[in-house]
Each structure stands twice: as C-alpha cells, then as structure tokens.
Amino acid sequence: MAMSGQTLDIMGDRQSGQDVRTQNVMACQAVANIVKSSLGPVGLDKMLVDDIGDVTITNDGATILKMLDVEHPAAKVLVELAELQDREVGDGTTSVVIIAAELLKRANDLVRNKIHPTSIISGYRLAMREACKYVDEKLAMKVEKLGKDSLVNCAKTSMSSKLIADDSDFFANLVVEAVQAVKMTNARGEIKYPIKGINILKAHGKSAKDSSLLNGYALNTGRAAQGMPLRVAPARIACLDFNLQKTKMQMGIQVLVTDPRELEKIRQREADMTKERIEKLLKAGANVVLTTKGIDDMALKASFNYFVEAGAIAVRRVRKEDLRHVAKATGATMVSTFADMEGEETFDLSFLGHADEVVEERVSDDDVIMIKGTKNSSAVSLILRGANDYMLDEMERALHDALCIVKRTLESNMVVAGGGAVEAALSVYLEYLATTLGSREQLAIAEFAESLLIIPKVLAVNAAKDATELVAKLRAYHHTAQTKADKKHLSSMGLDLSKGIVRNNLEAGVIEPAMSKVKIIQFATEAAITILRIDDMIKLVKDESQNGED
C-alpha cells in the first residue's frame, strides 16, 4: 500500500527541504532576539520567572538561555552553544548566539537563491579560518605593550554590560587582584590561574562598594560548637565525606536481645565507635575537621567533646564543591570511608592537608571559616555585599565573567579592541577576500562578512544611537586602515556607545582577550553549520496506547 509523502509508516510526521530550514532559522532568530537587547554597555536586563515563581534578573546570555525552556531542537543547539562558550571562555555568550543566528539567516537566503548548502558550508568554514587567522596576526596586541592596566580594562569591558557597570573601576581591581592571587605553575611549567580557587561569598547588607577580597578560602559556615577555638595555626585539615553521627545498625539487621541490660551495651558501643573515629582523626594530628555530613551532637557536647579538648575546629555540612576546592588547595585527600583494605578502620597521616591557619571570622552577620596560607595554590575569597538576592546573584554572574576574562587575558597574553572593532575589521577584510575568489564560496564569504556586522549594529541599536550611520563610519575607518599602510593604527577603531561616536578603543581601554573573539567566531560558525546541514526533520508521535497497560 502506497503511503502519501508526509506520513511515515512509523508514527510521526516528516518535513523536508526548505520548510525545515526556514523553521530552524526562525527558531534560532527567536532565541537570538531574546538575548539581543542585552548586548553591550547599555544592554537591558531580563527578568525570568520560573515555574515555581523564582525570579532571576540577569544580563548574562548563558543564564538567560539556560532558564528558558526551549522546545525547538534547532534552537536547543544555540542554547548549548551559549553554554559551551560559557565553559570555554566564560564571557561573550550573547555575542555568540547573535552571530550564529545571523549567519543562519543569511545562509538561508543564499539557499533560497539556489546555492547549495554544501557550498555555503565550505565558504563559511573558509571564512572562519581566515577570520581567526586575521585576528591573531593583524588585530591582536600583546598585553605587555599595554601594561598592567590592560587587565583592569579587560575586566571593566566585561563588566560594562552588567549590573555593576557603575562601580566597574572598583570591581575590576578586585577581580584582577583575585586572579593574580591564585597564580600557580603546573607540572609542565605553564603558568595557570585556576579561578575555581576564588570562592565567591554573598552577604546581605551594605552597598556593592563594600565588597572585599579576603585572603584565604572562605567557607560559609561557622564552627560546629561554641567551645572550639576561634583560631588554629598551623592547621592540619581532614576533609571527610561521611557522617560522624552515632553509628547506627544498617537497615534490615535484626538483633535479638534477651536481656534488657544488653541494650545499653549496644547503645554504648554505637557511641564508642563514633568516639573512636574521632580519636583516630585527632591522633593522626588533625586539628581541623571538615565534613560534608553531620557531626553527632553527642560528640560535640562538653563531657564528650574530644574536639574542644584537643583544641580542634570541626565544621559540619560543608558544601561538597567547597570541600573539593579546599582539598585541592591544601593538599588533603577527601576521605569517604575509614575502612582500609583489611577492613580495619584507619586514618592515615598523608590524608591531611596543610594551611598556615584556620580562623573563624565575622562577615556581616554570618560566621565564616577562613582557611589561610594554603599549601598548594593560594586561595582567595570575594565577599560580595549588596541590597538583595537578585542583586547579589547578578553581581556573582558578572564577576564570574570578569574573572574568566582576566584569566584568559593572562594565559593567552593577547588582546583586541572591543566595541565592534574586531567585527568591523573582519567584515571589511572578508568582503575584500570574497572578491578575490573565483568560486561559488564567494557569496557565502560575503554574507559571512555581512553577518559579523550584526554586533556593532546591535551595540548601536541598544545604545539608542543611529546604527546605520555609525556602522558606515566604522567600516570606512577600517577600510582605510587596511588599504593604506600608514594608517594601520585605525584598525582598533570601535564604537563609543555613551557618546555615540567612533573612537580608538585600544586607547580608550575597551579591550577583550583575542581568544574570546576567536572562539566566538569558531563556535558561532560551527553551530550555524550544524543547523544548516539539516534538511529533514522526522518527529515521532508519542505512542499513547502503551501507557496504560505497562
């Protein structure tokens, strides 16, 4: 029996050819339009309310897209793209999505004009390679040429579109100090900046300007009991991932007790086991015990309090993530059980981590435990202050982006001018490149060049400036820079969005790491190509009949 073209033998429907492409492009445009208005120093924020009524106010592209519940499969690619950018670079999530959507839209127009997707894809690939090469060779500047301020300026550029833009001077310096504090050299002799070692604590009250940088890794909890010392130095730290509660019998174990006096013995033994465990810890020389689970109150009570007698600090309910970082910084081993190979319970000296001191300090109204002078990599903590949760969360996101950017700048040492400068330069360069090719890729590369201009355009539109005029001026400058040998310095002309003019952004201190730009172009192109390749979509219908019987 012949089926009609659109229904399949399997339960589902199928769309192919141009329909699918148009749909995919529409879906991607929709996603890009959501984040579009949040790009740039005058970008607007989004307020997202999720299904249980939690409110998030944010400007961070990755966060916005993560919170959206995206149904369309092609649009999901863009969401994953933003997450990838967030993981790899840490900033530039909005730009990546906008460029990818624009590339797609233009590719779709080309397909409509009878150019095969394969030609477009190879054109885009070529353009991407050329663009990245051009950024590295012609546009990127060594950080040494620009001095220490360049780090602060990178941080400020990253923050300019965020909530804390007004205090960006203050925060940029905090961020640069924090990143430089965690500098370490790994086994291969490369200098790395593990920004995971920077712990961000949020405390209500005071204003954003009262945020501060503390030297040491801060844990957001206090000591487990009052009698413990406030300060231990030098500290030997045990990181545990299990309960120091009273040992209870496992479920399903039956104990037949004939004599009621025996019951007391069982209880006593249970208590003793905990006591033994704690004694083992202290015998090994631990004077700071951090655990992700609980510590028995009984072990903390005065008569029993081994910790107080030993002058040790115990902290319970530490976040697992924090514990990992502490273990890494102090050289401790996270221990999840005391049992060794022989089944005996032991605690080895080598599991302990070392730090100069562990102190309990007050920050605003909370007690925090500070671990200072850690053995391996140094750790610092940023304490953020602010009026309310939304503000603090958004500050944390902004600082995360800025930290990543400073790290990238330090590790790659190359920066480019911001404010649409790179995109405009690449656009002019690729357009010229396209005219030198005698193959079909010419059109695709020309469209790629056009697509990059979306960034300066959106920047200008968000700033309520005349985009057409500004972009035209910008391109004129870049054309001059690329054609006249004595005008090379014009290649860092970008937009000044508060005044609505074109200026030299390297001098104005609007800079970004070159790596961030290169990755944006690569990821956006890859995503666009992935979606462009699709020409058939088969959607299976959920089979209703089986739900009931199973």
Q: DSSP letters of 305-336?
A: -HHHHHT-EEE-S--HHHHHHHHHHHT--EES
Q: Render each residue's pLDDT in the chain as its tens digit; 550 residues.
A: 444 455 556 777 888 878 888 888 898 899 899 888 888 887 788 898 888 888 888 888 888 888 888 888 888 888 888 888 888 888 888 899 999 999 999 999 999 888 888 999 999 999 999 999 998 888 888 877 766 788 888 888 888 878 777 788 888 888 888 888 887 777 777 778 877 778 888 888 777 788 888 777 778 777 777 777 788 878 888 887 777 666 666 677 777 888 888 888 877 777 777 777 777 777 887 888 888 877 766 655 644 567 777 777 888 888 888 888 888 777 788 877 776 666 666 777 777 888 888 888 777 677 788 888 777 667 788 888 888 888 888 888 888 888 888 888 888 888 888 888 899 999 999 999 899 988 888 999 999 999 999 999 998 888 888 889 999 998 998 988 888 878 877 888 888 888 888 888 888 888 888 888 899 999 999 999 998 888 888 888 776 665 555 4
Which residue in 45, 60, 296, 322 is the catalytic one? Answer: 60
Strands 380-386 and 198-204: parallel
Task: Give the pLDDT of residue 2.
Answer: 47
Per-position b or e across 474-501, b if 16+ CB within 10 A of its CB: bbebbbbbbeeeeeeebbbbbbbbeeee
**Alpha carbons 330 and 125: distance in angstroms, whole number:** 46
Task: Give the pLDDT of residue 446.
Answer: 92
User: HSE on the CB side for 246, CA within 13 Å?
Assistant: 11
**Alpha carbons 215 and 301: distance in angstroms, whole number:** 32
Is 60 in the active site? Answer: yes
Which residue in 58, 63, 94, 157 is the catalytic one? Answer: 94
Terminal Cα-to-Cα distance of the chain (whole angstroms): 31
Which residue in 58, 93, 374, 525 is the catalytic one? Answer: 93
**Alpha carbons 477 and 424: distance in angstroms, whole number:** 9
Per-position b or e across 17-45, b if 16+ CB within 10 A of its CB: eeebbebbbebbbebbebbbbbbbbbbeb
Task: Give the pLDDT of residue 218.
Answer: 79
Which residue in 91, 322, 393, 401 is the catalytic one? Answer: 401
User: HSE on the CB side for 356, CA within 13 Å?
Assistant: 9
Domains and CATH numbers, the chain: 217-377 (3.50.7.10)
Task: Give the pLDDT of residue 6.
Answer: 57
How deeply is 55 buried, as exposed, middle or buried, from its count of CB atoms within 10 A (0-12, 13-18, 19+)?
A: exposed
Is 401 in the active site? Answer: yes
Tokens linked to 108: 């779709």
Residue count of the chain: 550
- 234: preceding bond cis by omega (within 30 degrees): yes
